[in-house]
């Protein structure tokens, strides 16, 4: 059966050329300005109030545009970004340890296994320093050194310290900054905020994104909302795996609906599996918990040298421990990038060295750090993470090593956008984790917050004006096209409620997650992916016959919300497997067992796969390739040894 067909190649038409150091400056200058009086006549819808959406809404409103902002949580400041723990990167070189914009650019292109665009990554590195200044000005309480300078720590895949942090709550503090900036504009009447509203469809008129269909999650009312441009900042889709470190509500609906309306979806198979999560403990769980990567600054990862060793960690002498990351990757040690650390953990567990229930765990040990720095210093840096670990596992990580195992954490794929962050639907912009733009096949730690805030505070506000300058666009509120989109949303909700089958939404989601983890997780094979596609199709058919959604559509109904999201996850899951199947190479988080080096490392095939895979929706998806070129960071085999 034909799984996909190949279409014409695509290009990023918005990307400037010339010296990389001045591309962003030149693009900003070339983008048309909108005069302040005209900005008041232009409306922008922003879906999402996480770091990307919050920053964008506040900045656009501050500039004078009318903003309508939507989130499904009960408050904008409960967006999933609040969960981010470890920190945010910026090329400030406060440590004077050799960092620079160029080095952050280099580390990110290499860390992404040469599957990201150089222009975008350079801009990200360039803008990174502004983010810290902006957030400090907002009052974000970054950790400081004794002398008052902002403190830094290291994250994986780098040999410098460039990660700014606020204990283990960096996302929360940054989000409070963005939220306060939004609140100021809500009070000023420039942002209309709609919490507990879920976007269920994109409205496209005359080929342009002109609005969204939303459901008020409290009353169930479905309405159409119009604007001159739409920005999606709706986060990542890791919850397609059911168990992930993402907040339970994270989903793909906003971007998937836009995909169905014509926006290309890029690199859907690029998923990040984070090496340091609390291992799964049973079927009662609905999510997994991250232990921040920052812990690898001081924690040492090890397993017993002897397979099947069941002694307590304290009874295993030093010479019977295998500090396998330090042994295998002496240059980066415990700070190798996430994809490498995750695979190494899986391999030692597969070989029988794993610890804890089912042998699916490795130790993250702070004994040396506590002996060297003292308990107080460790507590200062990581106190809330240690407390979280103890509450969940009942074990005291100050006394016994943490047990950790890889879990799904982040999705590098997302809607395809050009350099301006505009999708293939004119007027639809996509920012933050929802787009695919900057991280290639593997994201470096502490770079998601950087990207979300770069997009929201600095990039989008400069690029969207080039589009808005061509507006305002004609009124569309009376059009029959709009009425039919809304009717289609209502029909779909009605259909979900009417099936009245005998299986819960969660049971379908859990089964889908198991299929994805087994066959499209840490290791992928042609055979497994082919099997997964058949299983997903079968399960999706069953879903539309047997799902039971209790309650009605005219009330708060979380089963109905979840049913719609799981229905979209089914379609996404299939595309992820097709993408993973067609990419017959290993790169970053995408590890194809058929493509590995003699010592088990990822083996890329640059001659065949040095492109972004951008998929068009259809009964048979169409693949459009955007070729990647590297003028500055030349593709090489990644080595962290």
Ligand X SMILES: Cc1cc2nc3c(=O)[nH]c(=O)nc-3n(C[C@H](O)[C@H](O)[C@H](O)COP(=O)(O)OP(=O)(O)OC[C@H]3O[C@@H](n4cnc5c(N)ncnc54)[C@H](O)[C@@H]3O)c2cc1C
Instruction: Name the site residues for ligand X (rule: CB under 6 A).
Output: 47-53, 70-73, 79-81, 83-88, 170-171, 198-199, 233-236, 245-246, 250, 253-254, 290, 292, 409-410, 432-434, 446-449, 452
Shortest distance, CB of residue 570 to ligand X, whole angstroms?
16
Distances (CA, A) of 627 to 92, 536, 611: 32, 30, 4
For residue 561, give the nearest of 250, 268, 247, 284 by alpha carbon. Answer: 250
The residue among 4 and 410 lying less far from ligand X, judged by its C-beta, is 410
Residue 513 burial class via C-beta count within 10 angstroms: exposed 0-12, middle 13-18, buried 19 and up: buried
The residue among 109 and 295 lying less far from ligand X, judged by its C-beta, is 295
Which residues are paired to 406 by β-bridges? none
Which residues are paired to 265 by β-bridges? 415, 615
The residue among 509 and 604 lying less far from ligand X, judged by its C-beta, is 509
- What residues have CB less than 8 Å from 219, skipping those under 6 apart? 554, 555
Shortest distance, CB of residue 456 to ligand X, whole angstroms?
7
Catalytic entry in 338, 443, 465, 562: 338
Shortest distance, CB of residue 149 to ligand X, whole angstroms?
21
For ligand X, which residue has the nearest CB?
50
Shortest distance, CB of residue 335 to ligand X, whole angstroms?
14
Shortest distance, CB of residue 274 to ligand X, whole angstroms?
8
The residue among 218 and 545 lying less far from ligand X, judged by its C-beta, is 218
The residue among 181 and 233 lying less far from ligand X, judged by its C-beta, is 233
Round to the nearest angstrom and report the end-to-end CA distance of the chain.
43
C-alpha neighbours within 13 Å on the C-beta side of residue 384: 13
Strand pairing of 229-232 and 43-47? parallel
Rounded CA separation 584/177 (Å): 43
Helix%, strand%, coil% for the chain, nearest 5: 40, 15, 40
Rounded CA separation 167/387 (Å): 13
For residue 437, give the nearest of 80, 109, 172 by alpha carbon. Answer: 109
123 a catalytic residue: no
Shortest distance, CB of residue 133 to ligand X, whole angstroms?
18
The residue among 452 and 589 lying less far from ligand X, judged by its C-beta, is 452
Shortest distance, CB of residue 72 to ligand X, whole angstroms?
4
The pair of three-digit structure tokens given for residue 427, joined into one six-digit string: 């007027």
Q: 174: helix, coil or strand?
A: helix
Q: What are phi and psi of 191, to 5 degrees?
A: -115, 125
Shortest distance, CB of residue 400 to ligand X, whole angstroms?
23
Question: Is the CB of residue 613 less than 8 Å from the CB of residue 628?
Answer: no
Q: What are phi and psi of 125, to 5 degrees?
A: -65, -40
b/e code 441-475 from CB counts within 10 Å (16+ = b): bbbbbbbbbbbbbbbbbbbbbbbbbbbbeebebee
The residue among 316 and 388 lying less far from ligand X, judged by its C-beta, is 388
**Chain Cα centroid distance, residue 551:** 32
Q: What are phi and psi of 390, to 5 degrees?
A: -65, -40
The residue among 170 and 190 lying less far from ligand X, judged by its C-beta, is 170
b/e code 141-173 from CB counts within 10 Å (16+ = b): ebbeeeeeeebbbbbbbbebbbbbbbbbbbbbb
Shortest distance, CB of residue 437 to ligand X, whole angstroms?
11
* Bond into 472 cis (ω within 30): yes
Chain length of the chain? 641
The residue among 369 and 415 lying less far from ligand X, judged by its C-beta, is 415
Strand pairing of 362-365 and 414-415? unpaired
The residue among 42 and 230 lying less far from ligand X, judged by its C-beta, is 230
The pair of three-digit structure tokens given for residue 205, joined into one six-digit string: 């008129």
Question: Is the CB of residue 511 less than 8 Å from the CB of residue 539?
Answer: yes
Shortest distance, CB of residue 236 to ligand X, whole angstroms?
6
Placement of tokens 């290499």 in the chain: 110
Active site residues: 338
């Amino acid at each position: 059966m034909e799984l996909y067909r190949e279409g014409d190649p695509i290009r990023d038409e918005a990307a400037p050329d010339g010296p990389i150091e001045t591309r962003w400056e030149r693009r900003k200058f070339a983008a048309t300005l909108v005069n302040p009086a005209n900005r008041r006549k232009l409306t922008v819808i922003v879906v999402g109030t996480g770091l990307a959406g919050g920053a964008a809404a506040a900045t656009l409103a501050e500039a004078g545009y009318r903003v309508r902002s939507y989130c499904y949580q009960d408050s904008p400041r409960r967006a999933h970004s609040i969960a981010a723990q470890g920190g945010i990167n910026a090329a400030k070189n406060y440590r004077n340890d050799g960092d620079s914009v160029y080095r952050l650019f280099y580390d990110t292109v290499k860390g992404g296994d040469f599957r990201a665009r150089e222009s975008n990554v350079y801009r990200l590195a360039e803008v990174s320093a502004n983010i810290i200044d902006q957030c400090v000005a907002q009052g974000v309480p970054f950790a400081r050194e004794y002398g008052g300078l902002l403190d830094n720590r290291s994250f994986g895949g780098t040999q410098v310290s460039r990660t700014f942090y606020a204990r283990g709550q960096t996302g929360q503090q940054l989000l409070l900054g963005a939220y306060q900036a939004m609140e100021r504009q809500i009070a000023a009447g420039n942002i209309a905020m709609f919490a507990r509203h879920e976007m269920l469809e994109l409205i496209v008129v005359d080929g342009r994104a002109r609005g969204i269909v939303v459901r008020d999650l409290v009353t169930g009312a479905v309405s159409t909302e119009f604007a001159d441009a739409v920005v999606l900042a709706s986060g990542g889709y890791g919850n397609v795996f059911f168990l992930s470190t993402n907040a339970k509500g994270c989903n793909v609906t906003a971007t998937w609906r836009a995909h169905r309306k014509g926006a290309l979806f890029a690199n859907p198979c690029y998923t990040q599996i984070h090496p340091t999560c609390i291992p799964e403990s049973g079927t009662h769980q609905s999510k997994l918990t991250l232990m921040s990567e920052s812990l690898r600054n001081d924690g040492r990862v090890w397993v017993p040298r002897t397979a099947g060793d069941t002694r307590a960690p304290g009874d295993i002498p030093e010479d019977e421990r295998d500090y396998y990351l330090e042994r295998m990757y002496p240059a980066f040690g415990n700070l190798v990038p996430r994809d490498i650390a995750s695979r190494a953990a899986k391999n030692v567990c597969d070989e029988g060295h794993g610890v804890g229930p089912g042998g699916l765990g490795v130790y993250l040990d702070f004994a040396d750090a506590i002996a060297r720095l003292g308990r107080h210093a460790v507590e200062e840096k990581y106190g809330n993470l240690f407390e979280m670990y103890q509450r969940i596992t009942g074990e005291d990580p100050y006394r016994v090593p943490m047990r950790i195992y890889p879990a799904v954490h982040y999705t590098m794929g997302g809607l395809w956008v050009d350099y301006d962050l505009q999708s293939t639907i004119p007027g639809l912009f996509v920012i933050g984790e929802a787009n695919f733009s900057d991280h290639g096949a593997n994201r470096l730690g502490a770079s998601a917050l950087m990207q979300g805030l770069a997009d929201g505070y600095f990039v989008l506000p400069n690029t969207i004006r080039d589009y808005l300058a061509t507006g305002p666009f004609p009124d569309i509120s009376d059009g029959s096209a709009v009425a039919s989109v809304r009717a289609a949303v209502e029909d779909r909700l009605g259909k979900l409620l009417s099936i009245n089958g005998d299986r819960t939404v969660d049971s379908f989601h859990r089964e889908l997650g198991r299929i994805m983890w087994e066959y499209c997780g840490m290791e992928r094979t042609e055979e497994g992916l082919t099997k997964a596609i058949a299983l997903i199709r079968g399960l999706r058919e069953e879903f539309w016959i047997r799902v039971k959604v209790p309650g009605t559509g005219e009330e708060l109904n979380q089963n109905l919300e979840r049913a719609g999201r799981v229905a979209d996850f089914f379609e996404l899951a299939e595309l992820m497997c097709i993408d993973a199947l067609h990419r017959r190479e290993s790169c970053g988080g995408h590890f194809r067992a058929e493509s590995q080096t003699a010592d088990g490392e990822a083996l890329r095939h640059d001659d065949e796969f040095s492109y972004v895979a951008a998929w068009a929706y259809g009964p048979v998806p169409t693949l459009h390739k955007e070729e990647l070129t590297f003028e500055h960071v030349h593709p090489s085999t990644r080595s962290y040894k």
